[in-house]
């Protein structure tokens, strides 16, 4: 293939990646690699595709292959370090980033990510030290500015945090995701200063930067379909062929309802492992039509499940869970889409543990709106009216699961957990069928890696400050309050 044609093909695959057409982009890369197995541009793009899918193991494989071909390339060292960091392997990530910086001291990407890794570790002093030469000279990137703002917030320098975030937000060349992150950190700083109007405006601008369409009718039809297909009779019939393992624990609830906190509590038990937001169940649902050769899309494709399908799909999930935690007796999945897939969970695992987290809907929704969660797969999250509407649909679906599922669901209310940590923690651990262990009350000291919007909170002892948080924004959230009724 001529160089020009190859270059244009790589560019086309890159455009497909940016447009979310991942399978088509992957196909082009495979075609190029058949012609040249050492085409680092195609290999790197395959890593980027895997990263977009949050398949860190696959992304790491491709980036390490690039590094094997060009071992002294700082950019490939940075990419390997980035994926290791996203996978929670911070020490390994820092080694790669340091090597990239040793070869190329002005590698801004590597310096930015090194600071970010230190922040994720909770080492704000180390993050500040990495950023200091850039910030003092006014040369920091927007990504560095976001990390510095979080460092400032942690240190109580709220006005400085707002200042650096707003300065970068005034630039016109920001990509939407960076504008989104910076806007939310600016909003957090203004909220700490008690300037709720400025905070709300910053969060709103952040959400507008990444908002995607949300069709209320389509979402209602999805919930209707789940309720119609996964009836009590259907689940009872299909679950007879499910796997009887008690390994899986599923935490369900709206984003920002306390799911990470409950997962952290269970993970602190020596016989349990918190696997984070495992996406295997929702990916199974999304691909079910093709996997079982059904003529119907999800959720009606579930009607065509036969006993062999149920056995095979349950086995695949258990294999994935055991790869993550080989010796655990319970593996916790807190995917934020779990509340939409509990019917399939009950079919595959009729003896699974299901815990439902919920809190004041006003606090839940305002926390969703201000937390920096990207709108995929939660397209309602950037609009207050849509948030309130989606919350109503979530409540409708949870009410259905509680009467249709043959599995008992444990309700954990965030406010009750905060007020009675000891009693609620014992209730959670007992419900999981585990013996009591005092370490569960010290969940914040476990040193575990958490890469969700709650990563800072779970390192702290439990606190009450987020209860009633919506009150500071009350005059700005009329569409939410109206939608919630």
Q: Which two tokens stand for residue 275?
A: 């696997």
How far, in Å, CA of 380 to CA of 483, rounded?
12
Element (H, E) at 86: helix 74-86
Q: Which residues contact 140 (CB under 8 A, 6 or more apart)?
A: 131, 134, 148, 164
Distance of CA 453 to the CA centre of its chain: 7
The Cα–Cα gap between 26 and 303 comes to 31
Do 3-210 and 216-484 share a fold? no
Residue with the two structure tokens 């939608």:
483
Q: How many other C-beta atoms lie within 10 A of the C-beta of residue 232?
A: 12
The full set of domain ranges for the chain reads: 3-210, 216-484
55: left (phi over 0), alpha (psi -120 to 50) or beta: beta
Q: What average pLDDT values come out for the chain (485 residues) when binned by 10 residues?
A: 60 88 91 92 95 90 97 96 94 97 95 96 95 94 96 97 97 91 97 97 97 96 98 97 97 95 96 92 94 96 97 95 91 95 98 97 97 90 97 98 96 96 97 97 71 52 81 96 94
Cα distances (angstroms) measured from residue 4 to each of 8, 18, 36: 6, 21, 15
Chain mean position to CA 182: 18
Which residues make beta-bridge pairs with 333?
A: 250
What is the gyration radius of the CA atoms in the chain, in angstroms? 23
Cβ density class 304-322: b for 16+ within 10 Å, e for less = ebeeebbeebbeebbebbe
Residue found by looking up tokens 């703002």 in the block: 149
SS3 273: strand
Q: Which residues contact 166 (CB under 8 A, 6 or more apart)?
A: 186, 202
Fold exhibited by the domain 3-210: 1.25.40
Q: Hey, what are 453's tokens?
A: 């919007």
Can you list the alpha helix ranges (DSSP code H) found in 328-410?
338-348, 361-370, 384-404
- Sorted by sequence, the CB contacts under 8 Å of residue 69 that are 6+ apart come out as 38, 40, 43
What are the two backbone dihedrals, phi and then psi, of residue 232, each rounded to the nearest 5 degrees? -60, -40
Residues 6 or more apart whose CB falls under 8 angstroms from that of 95 comprise: 81
The DSSP output letter for 71 is T
Angle formed at CA 295 by CA 290 and CA 300, multiple of 5 degrees: 90
CA–CA dist 413, 356 (Å, integer): 8
Question: Can you tell me the distance from the alpha carbon of 173 to that of 155, in angstroms, rounded to the nearest whole number?
Answer: 29
What does pTM read for this prediction? 0.88
**For 307, what's the count of Cα atoms within 13 Å in the CB-facing half-sphere?**
3
- Look up the CATH architecture of domain 216-484: 3-Layer(aba) Sandwich (3.40)
Tokens of 405: 């599922």
Residue 448 has what pLDDT? 53
Sign of torsion over alpha carbons 303, 307, 308, 309? positive
């Amino acid at each position: 293939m001529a160089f020009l044609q190859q270059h244009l093909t790589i560019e086309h695959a890159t455009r497909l990646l940016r447009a979310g057409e991942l399978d088509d982009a992957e196909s082009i890369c495979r075609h190029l690699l058949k012609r040249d197995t050492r085409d680092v541009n195609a290999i790197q793009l395959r890593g980027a595709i895997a990263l977009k899918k949050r398949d860190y193991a696959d992304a790491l494989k491709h980036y390490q292959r690039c590094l094997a071909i060009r071992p002294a390339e700082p950019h490939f060292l940075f990419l390997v370090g980035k994926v290791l960091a996203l996978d929670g392997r911070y020490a390994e990530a820092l080694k790669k980033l340091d090597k990239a910086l040793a070869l190329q001291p002005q590698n801004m990407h590597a310096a930015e990510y090194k600071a970010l890794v230190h922040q994720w570790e909770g080492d704000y002093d180390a993050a500040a030290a990495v950023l200091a030469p850039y910030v003092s000279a006014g040369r920091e990137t927007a990504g560095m500015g976001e990390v510095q703002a979080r460092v400032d917030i942690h240190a109580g320098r709220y006005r400085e945090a707002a200042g650096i975030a707003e300065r970068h937000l005034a630039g016109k060349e920001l990509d939407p995701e960076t504008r989104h992150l910076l806007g939310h950190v600016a909003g957090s700083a203004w909220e700490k200063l008690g300037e709720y109007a400025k905070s709300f405006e910053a969060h709103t601008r952040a959400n507008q930067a990444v908002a995607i369409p949300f069709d209320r009718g389509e979402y209602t039809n999805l919930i209707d379909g789940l309720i119609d297909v996964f009836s009590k009779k259907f689940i009872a019939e299909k679950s007879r062929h499910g796997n009887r393992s008690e390994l899986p624990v599923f935490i369900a609830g709206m984003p920002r309802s306390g799911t990470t906190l409950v997962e952290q509590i269970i993970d602190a038990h020596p016989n349990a492992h918190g696997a984070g937001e495992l996406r295997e169940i929702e990916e199974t649902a999304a691909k079910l039509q093709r996997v079982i050769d059904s003529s119907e899309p999800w959720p009606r494709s579930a009607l065509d499940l036969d006993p062999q399908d149920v056995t095979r799909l349950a086995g695949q999930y258990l294999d994935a869970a055991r790869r993550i935690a080989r010796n655990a007796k319970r593996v916790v999945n807190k995917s934020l889409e779990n509340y939409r897939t509990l019917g399939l969970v009950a079919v595959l695992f009729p003896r699974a543990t299901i815990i439902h987290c919920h809190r004041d809907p006003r606090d839940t929704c305002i926390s969703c709106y201000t937390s920096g969660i990207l709108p995929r797969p939660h397209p309602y999250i950037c609009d207050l009216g849509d948030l309130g509407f989606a919350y109503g649909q979530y409540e409708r679906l949870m009410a259905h699961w509680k009467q249709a599922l043959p599995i008992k669901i444990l309700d954990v209310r965030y406010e009750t957990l905060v007020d009675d940590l000891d009693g609620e923690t014992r209730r959670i651990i007992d419900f999981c069928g585990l013996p009591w262990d005092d370490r569960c009350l010290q969940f914040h000291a476990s040193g575990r890696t958490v890469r969700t919007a709650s990563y800072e909170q779970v390192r702290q002892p439990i606190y009450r400050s987020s209860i009633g948080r919506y009150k500071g924004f009350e005059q700005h959230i009329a569409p939410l309050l109206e939608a919630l009724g």
